[in-house]
Amino acid sequence: MIKTGCKIDEVRVDGSLDVLRRDLEYFNGIGMEAIEIPVHGLDAIRNGVLDRRRLKDISDILTGFEFEYSVHSPNPLNLMDEESASPHESVFRSSLEFTAEIGSRVMVYHAGRFIPEETFGVNGKKCLSESERMRMLEKEQVRLRQLSLEFPEVTICIENARPYVYHSPYCYGERLDELNKQIALIDRPNVKMNLDIGHLNMAANFYGFDPVEAARSCGANIVHTHVHDNFGKSVYHYEKQQTHQIPFGRGDSHMPVGWGSAPISQILSAYLETYGGMLIMELRSRYFSHTLQSNKNLLSLLSSLNVEGGSRLSVCCSKV
């Protein structure tokens, strides 16, 4: 049975373990079975070092629930970084250690970027040669092989990216075929793919490819999934405020399942037959109160695909 769940939002929690506990209690009450923990939202790592006292406090809370956990590493992590590689490796290693210590088997990592989003407004559009891109890809391959060897109990799931108008392709992960190729070149059993369906919908619209066929072609490597909805329209990098974009159907809105036009059911049908991972609804904090509705919509999609999921929902909904 596939477990459905949601993320702990780093903006909502903002370092508060009291909020973490309350949100976990709420999610438990509405039947969630899996939870994704943002290591960066809980102050567990500072300056590349895992705070073990903080780790214990977090672990004490997490062990009070029966969720299956995954971990999301900090978004700026980039093993392609050539100017400050050491901090990225330190944060990555500490994130893996955190994942292993809380008993999780999955850590999500955003695919390496040729051009980091943080520099878009500073450097403008930087054109890289093919040889430069290949060198950066090889750098990430070497680092991921080494880190995956150090933590064989954790599967590093590389997440596909959404495009940005004007700056794309800034990341190889915008296209699933390129992401699949990178995973093949890394060639480690615990380096796989986290398919973000919302990002895939945006990339498919931006580049003009079939998202269902893209998911089907790399289904064997998909071991973790983020589910959220949008209308598939990309934005410029400076258009960060999603509340202004949603009326126009633009942006990486991370809305509840069923609120947008992403072909979620069709994409899931491309690989769920052999899938054994979690389905994590990655909703923005403004949609916290709609988590139950989103999960019901997701379970309805699974039912239409003859996939069993969410066995606790009928038991727990009466508590809400």
Q: 61-90: per-residue pLDDT in tens?
A: 999 999 999 999 999 999 998 777 689 999
Superfamily of 4-319 according to CATH: Divalent-metal-dependent TIM barrel enzymes (3.20.20.150)
pLDDT of 4 > 70? The answer is yes
pLDDT band at 316 (very low <50, low <70, confident <90, very high): very low
Q: Could you tell me the two tokens for 283?
A: 């909703």
Express each pLDDT in 158-185 by its tens digit: 999 999 998 899 999 999 999 999 999 9
C-alpha pair distances (Å), 61 with each of 24, 38, 197: 9, 14, 30
Higher-confidence position of 320 and 193:
193
Which pLDDT belongs to residue 315?
A: 35
The length of the chain in residues reads 320
pLDDT band at 193 (very low <50, low <70, confident <90, very high): very high
Distance CA 36, CA 16 (A): 16
Distance CA 298, CA 279 (A): 9
Express each pLDDT in 234-280 by its tens digit: 998 888 777 899 999 999 999 999 999 999 999 999 999 999 999 99
Q: Across all residues in the chain, what is the average pLDDT?
A: 93
Which pLDDT belongs to residue 124?
A: 56
pLDDT average, residue stretch 10-25: 97
Which pLDDT belongs to residue 240?
A: 72
Nearest by Cα to 162 from 44, 35, 254: 254
pLDDT of 5 > 80? The answer is yes
Higher-confidence position of 122 and 106:
106
C-alpha pair distances (Å), 45 with each of 41, 73, 126, 240, 255: 10, 10, 31, 25, 29
Q: Which segment, 114-128, 132-146, 301-315, is predicted with the most confidence on average?
A: 132-146
Contacts of 139 (CB under 8 A, 6+ apart): 79, 80, 82, 85
